Amino acid sequence: MKLSQLMNQPILNDVEIADIQTDSRLVKRGDLFVAYVGESQDGRDYVEQAIDNGAAAVLYEENSHKNSRDKSRLVLARLQNGVVPCIPVENLKQKLSAIASCFYHHPSERLHVIGVTGTNGKTSVVHFLAQAFSFLGFKCGILSTIGNGMYPDLTESKNTTEGAVEMQKQLAHFAEADCQYVVMEVSSHGLEQHRVDHVLFETAVFTNLSRDHLDYHGNMENYGRAKEKLFQINNLKNAVINAEDNFGKILIQKYQNKLNVLPFFVQKIKKHPHLIGKFNFSNLLAVENVLRAYHFPAEKINAALLQLKPPAGRLQKISIKNKPLVVVDYAHTPDALEKVLQTLKEICIGKLWCVFGCGGDRDKGKRPIMAKVSENEADVIVVTDDNPRTESSQEIIQQIVSGFSSAKNSIVEPDRAKAIQYAVTHADLKDIILIAGKGHENYQIIGKEKKYFSDVDEAKKWLN
């Protein structure tokens, strides 16, 4: 595609564009490099590197609160020979979804795209849907926290919701592979940052709303408004909404006359061969209603639901004979932690252990709340690190333990490996140990360094 066609404007030294890249290290000859201002990096700092790698053209952010005019002048100064077209674009990050959609020939128009948003349950619902569509004989693409690709062949993902260019690139890949359905997690960050503006969603799913990401959104009202944006996307047809959730009730009221709204709530928990917990049955009902929206017969829906298994790091059991049961779960919000602990409490004969920490550079207000939740639901608590990032591990732990009314049932061990070792080696056979917060993650972030670490591997090591 010509740059002039992509930008819908005359371009001096017009060029053919081979692909779009937002990472200068990935630029190949003939690519368009998009230099926008991110959270921690300014793409305009990497224009020269992109051109050295063969970029045929550059789009750069013209206006930004981060030294925009100086940066823009620098970009132009770096292109002294004027051979490479360098196009300034105001609010580039907001327009990137439209640009990428155009370049990849609007791939979502050729797919049934289902977006899942909510504080907790997004990953489970997305993976359940992918399993269900696969069982029903359809190719299903998946974009989620724990992997992207054609189900079940997934590659590791960087974000819950990919950037606008990578998103459209993935959708184009799914369309070219004759995929019929795509299911994706849609985060509040992804919605706020316009990453999905030009994805043609057919169905939106809302799981629940509870405290998370207030370091970014500021308050629950803003957080809720961000989630709601999924239901305001043009041409949306179906809305599957948790009617037990207070914010879900608001969404139903607002959109019941505009969309095909399918509300769900758990009336009775039925026995399932692979899943436990009321929250998982809420997720199952979301999946059932999505399948109903696509008019699958009831008997096929029921058969598909019985096949569903939890994704990695979601109530993942590690069971070894004559050892306590260990469960690894991604629960990293007060609501999710409470629900997982309550679920395990129902099946625990001995003591219920909870090993958890709170992420650094994230919402500080939830730390004492999670301590209170664990104190109310667990018998023994081990407080540890969970991606402290650039914050002091000691300060994070102090903020967590400030939420305990008593310290008698809690132990502090900042080293996560030692915390898991302590729990596994001190728990009795009839106890259950929940290791919460990381789930599928296989890393620990300390400072700005990302090191390999797996709760599952550590638990298995000490169980054996």
Domain ranges of the chain: 3-90, 103-307, 316-463
**Residue 246: both structure tokens together:** 């207070």
Provide the CATH topology of domain 316-463: Protein-Tyrosine Phosphatase; Chain A (3.90.190)
Q: Are 357 and 396 in contact (CB under 8 A)?
A: yes
List, for residues 60-118, the tens digit of each pLDDT value: 998 755 555 555 555 555 554 467 999 999 999 999 999 999 999 999 999 999 999 99
Whether 158 has a pLDDT exceeding 50, the answer reads yes
Q: Distances in Å between the alpha carbon of 197 and those of 239, 261, 282?
A: 17, 21, 28
Confirm if 152 and 129 have CB atoms less than 8 A apart: no
Residue with tokens 């400030």: 402
Q: Band the pLDDT of 12: cuts 50, 70, 90.
A: confident
Copy the structure tokens of residue 90.
């105001």
Mean pLDDT of 280-308: 97
Fold of 103-307: UDP-N-acetylmuramoyl-L-alanine:D-glutamate ligase (3.40.1190)
**3-90 topology per CATH:** 3.40.1390
Can you give the pLDDT at residue 80? 44
Return the higher-pLDDT residue of 61 and 269: 61
Classify residue 22 by its DSSP letter.
Answer: S
Residue 374 has pLDDT above 50, yes or no: yes
